[in-house]
């Protein structure tokens, strides 16, 4: 009566394809998340695992860099504390969790 048959047919067709159209509108979001995971999250997790293993295995004579930027040589290792010599006869106690880098004794310099 007030609605022509053409409008009634197009409304029925749009409702049946709405589920697929909804999925297609979310597909770019899923794609961005997948790319973000493989390019950012996964490499960061592997770097953190490597750092945690190095911090857990720190020993006397290793060269370390703290999160605060102190560079020194390990003189004593305890459970959660590391004593680091930052200058001749200047030793500081550092929490192991704050170590940002551990270079083993006899490691190659970064510029060689």
Q: How confident is the model over 36-58, as pLDDT tens digits? A: 999 999 999 999 999 999 999 99
Structural domains of the chain, count: 1
**Residue whose entry in the numeric block shows the structure tokens 């510029």:** 111
The whole domain housing 80 covers 58-103
pTM (global) more than 0.75: no
Flag whether 49 is in a domain.
no
Structure tokens at 9: 């047919």
Flag whether 28 is in a domain.
no
Model pLDDT, residue 10: 53
In the predicted structure, residue 35 carries a pLDDT above the cut 80: yes
Flag whether 70 is in a domain.
yes
Contact (CB, 8 A) for 83 and 92: yes
**What is residue 98's DSSP assignment?**
G
Q: How confident is the model over 83-109, as pLDDT tens digits? A: 999 999 999 999 999 999 998 876 666
């Amino acid at each position: 009566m007030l609605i022509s048959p053409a409008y009634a047919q197009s409304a029925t067709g749009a409702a049946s394809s709405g589920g697929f159209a909804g999925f297609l509108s979310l597909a770019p979001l899923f794609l961005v998340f997948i790319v973000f995971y493989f390019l950012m999250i996964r490499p960061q997790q592997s770097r953190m695992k490597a750092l945690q293993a190095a911090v857990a295995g720190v020993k006397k004579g290793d060269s370390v860099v703290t999160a605060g930027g102190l560079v020194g040589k390990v003189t004593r290792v305890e459970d959660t504390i590391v004593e680091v010599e930052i200058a001749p006869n200047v030793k500081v106690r550092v929490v192991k969790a704050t170590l940002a880098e551990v270079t083993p004794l006899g490691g190659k310099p970064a510029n060689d």
